[in-house]
Structure 1
Amino acid sequence: MGKEGNSTSSLKAYVQAYFSDLDHSKKAEKIHVELNQLKELVNISVAQVGSGDPSQSDRATQESLQQAVKYLSKETLEFLAGLDEKVTTEGILTSIEEFNAIYENKEKFVNVTLTSAVSLSEDQKLRILKKFQTKVGEATIFVKEKVDPDVVGGVRLESENHYFDNTIVTKLKEMKKHIIQD
């Protein structure tokens, strides 16, 4: 694999990792919209320069990006900041296309809040979310982790259509309710 192939692979890996780390579908949607607007701006800049010298195209793209920065959201700026500073116009367009491909291939998004008494390890989160995935089916899960010492132990998962509470506080409340009923 040549230098360009490695570069494209690393761009795709970066985009996939960035998308996976997003914690809310609204962020993904905002980035998707803004990247498409940015793509149009880059394409216009490149068309104005022509297909001659690639370095002129890259300079025109950098100028467009500098103008666009003041209109982009924090999320989109973070995405762009993660790209290698030496990335070419082609690399920027490749990263936008990759983000769009991931975003558009996902049919369903689920925002979930994962609440626990202490921070969970990556392995613990993965096991919990794997079980939750069976409940929501084929969906992209955006996780917002919340640490709340008041739950004492266990976890609570909340989304628009699902609620799973396996916290010690909830179990104690249920036990109290049963004792009072008897």
Structure 2
Amino acid sequence: MSDNTIIAKRYATALFQLGQEQSKLDVIETELRALRVIFKGNKGLVQFLKHPRLTVDEKKQLLNDSLKDFSKETLHTLMLLIDRHREEIMIDMIDHFILKMNDLKGIADATVYSVNELSDVEKQRISATFAPKVGKRSLNLTNVIDTSIIGGIRLRVGNRIFDGSVSGKLSRIERQLVSQK
């Protein structure tokens, strides 16, 4: 585990504990999810915030102006990261906070690969079927279209993969035939 990951976890844990004490976990989670969308949609934003020509005060002013409706806990954490020149761990910190929230709620993020877009009913059925298998109450599914699986689905929860795709079954049959020779 890299130093940045360890540091990001510490900031996420501190913000999580502060959110618990202030009874603002849901508010902070909503803000951080919105911020994650902003950072992931604008890949150069973190590099911009790390730019040496921007002073710490300019960076703080930019965030204060952009995120003026955010809670003081979230803003204070972001200001600390800027003060300590840790802009590059903002996304990791947000991800770790969301993981802690998901653990608290009994939710896991998962990616489901299918040939076609899944309906909400299909996503709910997949969540209800696989959540108990990974020890969670529900799954927060992201649907990815992948025509190479031919049919069926492939589900990834953390580092676990459940493969019910046609291409996965064909490759298992191929391995069995090759190993029998």
Q: What's the TM-score, normalizing by structure 1?
A: 0.43
With CA pairs under 8 Å and 6+ residues apart, which has the higher RCO, 1 or 2? 1
Report which of the two structures shows the higher radius of gyration computed on alpha carbons: 1
Q: What's the TM-score, normalizing by structure 2?
A: 0.43
